[in-house]
């Protein structure tokens, strides 16, 4: 059996004080969280359009989009390609797995919808690259 020793009055007071302080801090923070649990932290209003940051990130963003489009338009052997997912949908349909077929077919519809969206975004970024170059804010235009 363990034996517990008594705390000195000074240590007991310090311990109680620390507990009281911690409880007070928690109690003060709780109403603020309870009032708006899903409200995002308020940020100051933007003072600009962020053009410098967009131009700075432009080469990486263009590379990211090109990589995604290459993957989506890839062959059956490419993981993440539309062709590969189409093959999986056909395999599920042939095997008579209706739940799997429905799930994969919905994913295929979404993946096919990404291609025009990403192509439009890529075209928009090419125009932004020209603007950045004209402003002297970026590298060469349309670095694909």
- For the chain, which residues make up each domain, given as ranges? 51-135
Instruction: Provide the pLDDT for residue 127.
Output: 94
Top-confidence residue, 129 or 23: 129
Q: What is the pLDDT of residues 24-33, one digit of tens each?
A: 655 665 555 5
SS3 for the chain is: CCCCCCCCHHHHHHHHHHHHHHHHHHHHHHHHHHHCCCCCCCCCCCCCCCHHHHHHHHHHHHHHHHHHHHHHCCCCCCCCCHHHHHHHHHHHHHHCCHHHHHHHHHHHHHHHHHHHHHHHHHHHHHHHHHHHHHHCCCCCCCCC
What would the mean pLDDT of 69-74 be, rounded to a whole number? 97
């Amino acid at each position: 059996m363990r034996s517990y020793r008594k705390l000195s009055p000074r240590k007991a007071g310090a311990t109680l004080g620390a507990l009281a302080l911690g409880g007070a801090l928690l109690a003060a923070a709780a109403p603020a969280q309870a009032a708006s649990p899903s409200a995002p932290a308020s940020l100051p209003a933007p003072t600009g359009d962020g053009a410098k940051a967009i131009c700075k990130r432009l080469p990486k963003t263009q590379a990211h989009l090109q990589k995604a489009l290459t993957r989506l338009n890839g062959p059956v052997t490419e993981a993440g390609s539309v062709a590969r997912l189409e093959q999986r949908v056909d395999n599920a349909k042939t095997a008579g797995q209706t739940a799997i077929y429905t799930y994969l077919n919905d994913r295929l519809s979404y993946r096919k919808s990404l291609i025009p969206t990403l192509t439009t975004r890529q075209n928009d970024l090419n125009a932004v690259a020209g603007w950045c170059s004209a402003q002297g804010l970026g590298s060469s235009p349309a670095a694909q």
